[in-house]
Structure 1
Amino acid sequence: MKTINFKWPKNIKSGSTHAGFKEDGKLDMCWIVSNTPAAAAGVYTTNQFKAAPVQVTKKTIDLKHELQAIIVNSGNANSFTGDEGIQNVYDSKKLVADKLHLDESLIGVASTGIIGKQLDMDTYQEGVDNLKLSDEDIDAPEAIITTDTCSKKVCVEVILNDQPVTITGFSKGSGMIHPNMGTTLSCIVTDANIDGDDLQNLLSEDIISTFNQITVDGCMSTNDMVLSMANGSASEDKLVPGTAEYIEFAKSFKYVLETLAKKVAQDGEGANNFVEVNVNSAFDKQEANLVSKAIVGSNLVKSMIFGKEANWGRIVQAIGQTHAHVDPNHVTISLNGTEIVTNSEPVSFTDKELKSMFTDEHIIIDVDLNVGNASGTAWGCDLTYKYVEINAAYEG
């Protein structure tokens, strides 16, 4: 596997436009289209107020795990919009299906932006009318962002059955990030030949240790969703679970998910520092993931990082408030490679050593629980004044 410049996989094209959902003239609508029907998979927010596009697209994919096109708009979430919002999603599917001459059952729809505002369908139709298809239009990552400071994208190539296979992914997300069996809004497309059920199994499994291990503010969006399409154009040979080729594809697919998840955490609203928490010697994998996410999600830990203080007590309280197995007398904690707690005893350090812990914008916290052999990692960011400023002014 190697990382390559962003491009679309074989027989997948895209287009992007300014429809009018954003007043600043920036791109706010895109679509990704396969030349042929593709295997499809999705994972979705567990928020009880799932947005209309999440509800409808889940039903669409659940039919036979197949899609041929995904359309996304930003600037309006079509969330908390009742029956009218649901109908607007079906109308959106029809607009796309009519233009592309596809069956409506092959169209996935996603939206992001302001909650509680009905989707202006005249604006939506204008956007669809303006969308074109090109394998050189790579602006989809820019068309889906809202409060993000940058787009998030990654592309890898892996050789399977002597053929190059491309996996391309992009995401949006900066605030309202605390996924649970969902993600921020993301799309991963590939020309690999894989069965829809197998793609779904991969996505559902990998999301647990990638997107589900990030948090920015502990708030779960109503529109969280990741969609994946695999059109099989790279090879006639279908990937079979358990084979070397399947394992290599799965490894590359997970790499794309993890890379995107980390990019989202790094771009947390107002963040100064990207925070990585590694928990080792945990009772099992589930508890390792639980503890690492509890630490990175703690507002006290976030504030500690922002204030550049090695206040290990805030890390300890985050560990202790979980139900994970712990040995209170044998916990070890390091901050950017410097041990600050050994066997639950604080380690003395100089002001110079303290300063060295915060010289990098990438802050790494390592925790050894000494109760087992499992490990887990979570990613997040610090909590700053800027986060409050952004969200106090946001109209959504």
Structure 2
Amino acid sequence: MVEWQEIPGGVTAPRGYRAAGIAAGLKPSGAKDLALIVSDVEAIAAGVFTKTQVRAACVDYCRQKLQSKSGGRAILCNAGQANAATGEAGWEDVRESARLVAQTLSIPLDEVFLASTGVIGQRIKMDALREGVPKVAAALSDTGGDSAAEAIITTDLVTKSIAIEAQFGDRTVRMGGMSKGSGMIHPNMATMLAFITCDAVVSSQLWQDMLRRAADKSFNQITVDGDTSTNDTLIAFANGQSRTPAIVKEGPEAEKLEAMLTHVCQHLAKAIARDGEGATCLVEVRVSGTASDDDARKIARTVAGSSLVKSAIFGRDPNWGRIAAAAGRAGVNFEQENLRIKLGEFHLMENGQPLDFDRAAASDYLKQQAAGEYLKDDTVSIEINLGYGSGEGFAWGCDLSYDYVRINAEYTT
């Protein structure tokens, strides 16, 4: 039973948060390119970041900050320049960016988090940022979630945000989130960029543990093109403004809060996968019957990331052989005699053997999903069962179209 409901507002839906997004001149297009999220009080902060060895300066800055302090008040995100592989000069740009935010908001320097997205190897346009920080701070509003979500996108076709609320005793807890991502999506941590706000009262270690587990069930299970970003950042604030009793240990209240967090993360993750560059549909792969959830997630992610599976879906070809082959190379031991595969309602394989099915109707199913409404009825469902355990896992991806090559051939990342 769902214990929460969706509400408007994005990252500003929870109590005590303001946000804004402006055009600061960082993008050549003149579109919004600078976002700021601020908590009215110091919040418990948690983060998950890319594991790549080639990282943006802001990633190292935030990781180091969390090692010394788990509190935060502000998140500044610039779009246009990734500030990755920019050496000591890029690191100085990050430090100056944090100082600008701290001075403008009159908050401690160590309560500022930073994120960047854009072209690798390009430093932030600091002249534009110096002028932009006071402007975005002046624009902060408790209804500014949508403008902030717009200011962090690059090749995205749509903004990505969500907010939910649930009852904890006689009080309401709210949680909001926003993310960006469309290409270079195959996270080895969390996501491209995602920011989550919450007004619950929760201990710092518990919040960090919840976020890491939620990331493993969401952002770490999406793929568009197999490429991990240099800037992957997931930051979550919990500022306690709901005035609910503090959640300091595992139990029913902690489980409920983590379920909310996982739901928000999965919604944002699926939105990223659906908005994959050139994509026409979302692909959801569910794997069950494995020895562990980790095994199931590994198989699901391998199938969702298979270029051959993705190409078949774009070609509206119900090619079960490509699905089976991808499952088999995922690095998980299973008996192929137990393998069962479904595409939507079409049973393609049972007990490791192909079944007779209406190929034309299955192809029509793929066409119908590609024509469906965004994130509602545009999902191609693949179900795989290995038949010997209780493990279960999901992964999300998209089809691979001609446009993916065109977009990335014409666009420098």
- The answer to whether residue 264 in structure 2 is matched with residue 256 in structure 1 is yes
Q: Aligned partner of 2:71: which letter?
A: E
Can you list the C-alpha shifts for 1:281-300, whole angstroms capped at 9, x where unaligned? Answer: 01211110000000000000
Partner of 1:56: 61
Shift, 1:23, TM fit: 1.8
Confirm or deny: 8 A CA contact 2:217 2:262 kept in the other structure.
Answer: no
User: 3-state SS of the aligned residue for 2:337?
Assistant: coil
Partner of 1:6: 9
- The answer to whether residue 100 in structure 2 is matched with residue 91 in structure 1 is no
Partner of 2:218: 210
Deviates more, 1:287-296 or 1:314-323: 314-323
2:117 to 107, 112, 117: 112
User: 3-state SS of the aligned residue for 1:329?
Assistant: helix
Partner of 1:360: 369
Q: C-alpha distance in 2, partners of 1:14/1:240?
A: 28
Q: Aligned partner of 1:342: which letter?
A: E
Confirm or deny: 8 A CA contact 1:78 1:118 kept in the other structure.
Answer: yes
- With over 3 angstroms needed to count, the CA separation of the structure-2 counterparts of 1:351 and 1:370, relative to structure 1, is closer
1:386 to 374, 378, 403: 403
Deviates more, 1:196-205 or 1:3-12: 3-12
Shift, 1:246, TM fit: 2.1
Can you list the C-alpha shifts for 1:203-259, whole angstroms capped at 9, x where unaligned? Answer: 011111111000000000000010011111111521132333222111111111111
Between the aligned residues of both structures, percent identity stands at: 38
Q: Aligned partner of 2:259: which letter?
A: K
Structure 2: state its 5+ residue gaps.
Answer: 371-378
Can you list the C-alpha shifts for 1:252-280, whole angstroms capped at 9, x where unaligned? Answer: 11111111111111111100121000111
1:375 to 385, 392, 398: 392
**Which stretches of structure 1, 4 residues or longer, exceed 3 Å deviation after superposition?**
none
2:164 to 150, 156, 165: 156
Q: C-alpha distance in 2, partners of 1:29/1:4?
A: 25
Structure 1: state its 5+ residue gaps.
Answer: none
Partner of 2:354: 346
TM-score by length of 2: 0.94
Partner of 2:144: 137
Shift, 1:64, TM fit: 1.8
Can you list the C-alpha shifts for 1:33-62, whole angstroms capped at 9, x where unaligned? Answer: 111111000000011101100000111122
Where do residues 158-173 of structure 1 align in structure 2 (5 Å cutoff)? 158-173=166-181
1:337 to 311, 331, 345: 345
Q: C-alpha distance in 2, partners of 1:290/1:119?
A: 36
User: 3-state SS of the aligned residue for 2:68?
Assistant: helix
Q: C-alpha distance in 1, partners of 2:123/2:199?
A: 35
Confirm or deny: 8 A CA contact 2:189 2:232 kept in the other structure.
Answer: no
1:65 to 67, 70, 79: 70
User: 3-state SS of the aligned residue for 1:290?
Assistant: helix
Confirm or deny: 8 A CA contact 1:169 1:256 kept in the other structure.
Answer: yes
Shift, 1:350, TM fit: 3.0
Confirm or deny: 8 A CA contact 1:325 1:371 kept in the other structure.
Answer: no
Q: Aligned partner of 2:58: which letter?
A: P
Confirm or deny: 8 A CA contact 1:176 1:219 kept in the other structure.
Answer: yes
